[in-house]
């Protein structure tokens, strides 16, 4: 029965009562492009651009970057592509940048923070994205990683708009950005929640530390609370709020995220069919009930159990 449901599943994501939820793919390397483009999705919700930089001994030129982005936009012609600007730092070091020594690279000069030291890296990247976008007809959005304050969000959006990129947003992966989501969203066009880092920073648990997996579980109610805050700020300001961290690829958790108010989910291409089928079997009201239940739990395991039990009684 599940196989038949999966085979039948196609088209835009929606709940059983027809509320649209965009299902998008995460893309991080050129060899993933064909599979990502072939997936039945409404586009790319997270284009990780580190692949253009990490192996290089000199910074990629604007022309080189433009060509790479154009290839992605071409493959997603007519669909949306959310490009995340470079997320490098001492944790993901660049050969052509002196990152210095950092005791705590996850808390250091990474993501948007690095561009304060090297402004040309951001302006070159925005110029390349804009040039590539103007050549094709993908709906190109840009967003910045590791934003902590509304001012950073607004400054990034202004820089993107100056380059002719109309839709500029903020990744919400630092708890401060979630706590100030209203102000963050007032200064930019959308938010995309990165649950991997938001979990790490909320739980004060290094995401590379396997021993802390339980704290890093995306079902942690504290993380869900921050998703809720951000999604509600999206509703209040009329701006889209999606999730692009790994949480979006768990069908049951996807129901909870939708119930908390997020309007798009971006995941590995292989996760899309199961998320689409599960979503289509639940109304928005049911998703909201499941989300409320999850928020009552004392830890991640209890949240998962409560939601799993309740969703079985719905089905």
Rule CB under 6 A: which residues touch ligand PEP? 46, 48, 87, 173, 194-197, 244-245
In the complex with Mg ion, the residue whose CB is nearer, 173 or 246, is: 173
In 3D space, the residue among 290, 152, 173 whose CA is nearest the CA of residue 230 turns out to be: 173
Instruction: Indicate the DSSP class of residue 59.
Output: P
> 266 CB contacts (<8 Å, ≥6 apart)?
23, 24, 25, 26, 44, 45, 46, 82, 192, 242, 243, 244, 248
Token output for 50: 């580190």
In the complex with ligand PEP, the residue whose CB is nearer, 159 or 177, is: 177
In the complex with ligand PEP, the residue whose CB is nearer, 197 or 289, is: 197
State the nearest-atom distance from the C-beta of 121 to ligand PEP, in Å: 17
Among 46, 244, 290, 293, the one annotated catalytic: 244
Strand-pair category, 22-27 with 43-48: parallel
Integer Cα distance of 236 and 122 in angstroms: 30
In the complex with ligand PEP, the residue whose CB is nearer, 223 or 293, is: 223
Binding residues with Mg ion: total (CB under 5 A) = 3
The interface partner of residue 46, options being Mg ion, ligand PEP, none and the CB cut-off 5 to 8 Å by kind, is ligand PEP
Among 45, 194, 234, 269, binds Mg ion (CB under 5 A): 194
- The response to whether 197 counts as a known ligand-binding position is yes
Q: In the annotation, is 287 catalytic?
A: no
In the complex with Mg ion, the residue whose CB is nearer, 180 or 282, is: 180
> 224 CB contacts (<8 Å, ≥6 apart)?
256, 260, 291, 294, 295, 303
Torsion, Cα 280 303 250 222, to 10 degrees, reads 110
Q: Is 204 exposed, middle or buried (0-12, 13-18, 19+ CB in 10 A)?
A: exposed
Sign of CA dihedral 220, 249, 227, 244: positive
193 sits in which H/E element:
strand 190-193
Integer Cα distance of 214 and 187 in angstroms: 35
- The response to whether 151 counts as a known ligand-binding position is no
State the nearest-atom distance from the C-beta of 259 to ligand PEP, in Å: 20
In the complex with Mg ion, the residue whose CB is nearer, 173 or 189, is: 173
- The response to whether 84 counts as a known ligand-binding position is yes
- The response to whether 207 counts as a known ligand-binding position is yes
- The response to whether 173 counts as a known ligand-binding position is yes
Integer Cα distance of 44 and 87 in angstroms: 17
In 3D space, the residue among 273, 269, 311 whose CA is nearest the CA of residue 27 turns out to be: 269
Q: Is 173 in the site for Mg ion (CB under 5 A)?
A: yes
State the nearest-atom distance from the C-beta of 173 to Mg ion, in Å: 5
The interface partner of residue 189, options being Mg ion, ligand PEP, none and the CB cut-off 5 to 8 Å by kind, is none
- Residues 126-165, one symbol each (x = binds Mg ion by CB under 5 A, - = not), give ----------------------------------------
Q: CB under 5 A: which stretch of 172-180, 227-235, 253-261, 290-298 binds Mg ion?
A: 172-180
State the nearest-atom distance from the C-beta of 46 to Mg ion, in Å: 9
The interface partner of residue 125, options being Mg ion, ligand PEP, none and the CB cut-off 5 to 8 Å by kind, is none
Annotated binding residues for phosphoenolpyruvate: 48, 84, 196-197, 207
Q: Which residues are annotated as a binding site for Mg(2+)?
A: 173, 197
Q: Could you give the residue numbers annotated as active site?
A: 244
């Amino acid at each position: 029965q599940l196989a038949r449901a999966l085979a039948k599943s196609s088209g835009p994501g929606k709940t059983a009562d027809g509320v649209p939820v965009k299902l998008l793919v995460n893309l991080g390397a050129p060899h993933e492009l064909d599979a990502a483009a072939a997936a039945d999705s409404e586009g790319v919700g997270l284009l990780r651009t580190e692949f253009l930089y990490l192996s290089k001994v000199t910074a990629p030129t604007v022309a080189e970057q433009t060509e790479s982005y154009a290839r992605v936009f071409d493959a997603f012609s007519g669909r949306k592509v959310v490009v995340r600007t470079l997320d490098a730092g001492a944790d993901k070091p660049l050969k052509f940048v002196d990152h210095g020594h950092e005791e705590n690279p996850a808390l250091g000069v990474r993501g948007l923070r690095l561009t304060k030291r090297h402004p040309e890296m951001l302006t070159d990247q925005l110029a390349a994205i804009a040039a590539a976008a103007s050549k094709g007809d993908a709906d190109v959005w840009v967003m910045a990683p590791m934003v902590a304050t509304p001012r950073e969000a607004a400054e990034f959006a202004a820089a993107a708009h100056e380059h002719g990129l109309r839709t500029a947003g903020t990744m919400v992966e630092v708890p401060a950005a979630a706590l100030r989501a209203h102000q963050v969203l007032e200064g930019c066009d959308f938010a995309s929640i990165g649950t991997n880092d938001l979990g790490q920073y909320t739980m004060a648990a290094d995401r590379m530390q396997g021993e802390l997996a339980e704290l890093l579980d995306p079902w942690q109610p504290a993380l869900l609370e921050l998703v809720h805050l951000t999604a509600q700020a999206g509703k209040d300001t009329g701006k889209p709020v999606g999730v692009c961290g790994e949480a979006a690829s768990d069908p049951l958790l996807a129901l909870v995220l939708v119930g908390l108010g997020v309007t798009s989910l971006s995941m590995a291409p292989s996760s899309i069919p199961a998320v689409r089928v599960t979503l289509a079997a639940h109304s928005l009201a049911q998703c909201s009930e499941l989300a409320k239940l999850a928020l009552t739990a004392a830890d991640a395991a209890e949240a998962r159990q409560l939601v799993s039990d309740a969703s079985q009684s719905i089905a």
